[in-house]
Structure 1
Amino acid sequence: MGKSTQRILGFFNLFHFLHALFPFVIFLMYSCYFKIAMELYCFNLKGIFYAGD
């Protein structure tokens, strides 16, 4: 087995590993984004209510 073949196999293993993790990463990103968006939204609502007081 040549070095190039091992490198290609290693790359495919890495790709497969990343592909397996991808949905989890996307889910984490979406949940973090959603959490931040909700906090900003609630903060803006409070700001609007307090400003109108």
Structure 2
Amino acid sequence: MGLRVISVDYTLAPHAKYDTITDQVISVIQGLTKQGYKMSDIAIYGDSAGGA
């Protein structure tokens, strides 16, 4: 399938507010797109704290 998987260790609530968590995940997505990945090739999955 040629899939690559990364695990993002973002700060979970209650240690961070929603906007901080969102900013951390967005930073990862921006890093991936700067490396040449297309948004259409990126999937997000969340556990416990949720996914987008």
Q: TM-score, normalised by structure 2?
A: 0.39
User: Which gives a bigger RCO, structure 1 or 2 (Cα 8 Å, sep 6+)?
Assistant: 2
Q: TM-score, normalised by structure 1?
A: 0.38
Q: Which has the larger radius of gyration?
A: 1
